Structure formats: C-alpha cells, structure tokens
Amino acid sequence: MRDVQVFANLEELSRAAADVFQNTVARCADEGRRAYVAVSGGSTPKRLYELLATPPWRDHVHWSCVELYWVDERPVLPTDPQSNYRMVEEALLNDVPLPPTSVHPFPTELASPTAAAEAYDLELKEVPRTEDGWPRFDLILLGMGDDGHTASLFPQSPALSETERRAVANPVAKLDVERLTLTYPVINHAAHVVFLVSGAGKAEVLNEVMHAPYDPTALPAQGVRPVDGTLTWLVDEAAYSLQDDD
C-alpha cells in the first residue's frame, strides 16, 4: 500500500521530513550504530536542510552518528553555485556539528564524470551491505522533477538500466550534460526512501507517477520500489491537487 502524507505547504512538509531524519538517526543511535543517509539537491529538499540546521532539530539530532552521502550531483566543483554539495553545505553543514570525515560528496574534482562516478562507486562499499552486496542506507531523500525524474535518473537515460554499479555518470540528452547519480539498486535497497514533492508545477507528473501504467523509462520515479524497505511520499496540497483517488 502506498504511504502518501499530504501537508498544507512546503513548510509543514519540510518539518515532517526533519522529524523523519531525526527519528532515523535516533533509532540508529539507540541500536549502537551509525546512520547512513543520502541526500538530494533541489529546491524542495533545501528547506528541509535549513530546518535541520535550526532548533529544535539542530540540537536533538545525534550528528555524531550520521554518515552523509549524496544521491546525485552535477559534474562541477564543490564551490560552483550549481553544486548539490554546496547547496547542502550552505543550508545545513555550516551550522551543525557533523565531522568532515562523515561527509561524503561525489569527488567532482576528478578529471571526468566517469572518474568521479567510479571513485564514488568504490566509496559506497563503506556503507553496510545487504546479503546480496548492495549498500543499505537507513534513509534516502529524493526529490522529483516535472518530467518524472528522480536522483539524476532521467527519462530514456542509460542509467535506468544499470543493474551492477552503485554510482554512474549518466548522459542526459535533453540537457546535453552528464550527471552523477546513484542507481536504482542502491536506492531500492535502502531501509526507507522518502520523496519530497512540492508545488502545483509537480501536480500533473505526480498524478502520472502514481496512476499511469508502470514505465520507469518514461517516468523514472516509478522505478523507486524498495525491495525490503519503506517508501513514503511527503507532498503538499498543491502537488497533490490533481490526484485521482485510488
């Protein structure tokens, strides 16, 4: 059964997401282990990171237990305004006591997107693994574009069919760029995957993702189906406004 939680606006949605983040880390701390979390770029998740950097979350999250990774990245230096790492750094990392050794961005300073993806693929081996060898993140936070893409898994892009690698450089023809992204097997082996979707501009594609016939090559967000975990959609009323009731 689909777990969809609808909130009045982006602020309420982001507060709920901050609670999910805090509770995930607390549960891992109670179990005496580290919390492995992968975050996304984008305008909707940004508000979540800003909240996490303020009370009460800043003071209550067990930051010393967190290992922070990125779901996707642009092949730009970490100081570039388009960098997902830079956005998270400015919104969150500069204001919380997360040790630099626990922050794991894509190494975009390497010579090529392929080199960066290969290096990240190896780094992901440090994440606890499932029995079949895939990283087992405790929490993955995803956004969704108005074309149905998530992470940097874009419609009709090569990475949609990747079944062996953990991270890849994904050519996106319509943007004439390469993006760095985690692959479906990594996302779908997480314990908890949370979509954050906000705004009327996402209403049509959200309705398609939830109700159209399954076709992740056209609507990549449909391909997020945890094999042994939980999938939650946190959406605001504007994004949910065109939903056909199940």
Contact 189, 225 (CB under 8 A): no
- Picking from 118, 99, 97, the residue whose alpha carbon sits closest to that of residue 107 is 118
- Picking from 144, 148, 136, 154, the residue whose alpha carbon sits closest to that of residue 234 is 144
Rounded CA separation 219/156 (Å): 9
Q: How far is CA 134 from CA 48, 126, 214, in A?
A: 27, 11, 24
Contact 39, 50 (CB under 8 A): no
80 located within any domain: yes
As for how many domains the chain has, the answer is: 1
pTM for the full model?
Answer: 0.97
Contact 5, 197 (CB under 8 A): no
32 located within any domain: yes
Q: Which tokens sit at 211?
A: 């109700």
69 located within any domain: yes
* 238 CA to centre of own chain: 21
Note the pLDDT of residue 55.
Answer: 97
CATH assignment at residue 163: 3.40.50.1360
Rounded CA separation 171/115 (Å): 14
**DSSP-based three-state secondary structure for 155:** coil
* 142 CA to centre of own chain: 3
Burial letters for 182-206: b for 16+ Cβ neighbours within 10 Å, e otherwise?
bbbbbbbbbbbbbbbbbbeebbebb
Instruction: Residue 142: count other Cβ atoms within 10 Å of its Cβ.
Output: 27
Q: Which alpha helices (H) appear in 10-165, and where do they start and end?
A: 10-30, 43-52, 57-60, 84-91, 113-123
Note the pLDDT of residue 175.
Answer: 86
Asked whether the CA dihedral 152, 241, 15, 195 is positive or negative, the reply is negative
* 237 CA to centre of own chain: 21
245 located within any domain: no
Domain that residue 23 falls in = 3-240
Tens digit of pLDDT at every position of the chain (246 positions): 579 999 999 999 999 999 999 999 999 999 999 999 999 998 899 999 999 999 999 999 999 999 999 999 999 999 999 999 999 999 999 999 999 999 999 999 999 999 999 999 999 999 999 999 999 999 999 999 999 999 999 999 999 999 999 999 999 988 899 999 999 999 999 999 999 999 999 999 999 999 999 999 999 999 999 999 999 999 999 999 998 654
Query: Phi and psi (nearest 5°) for 81?
Result: -60, -25
246 located within any domain: no
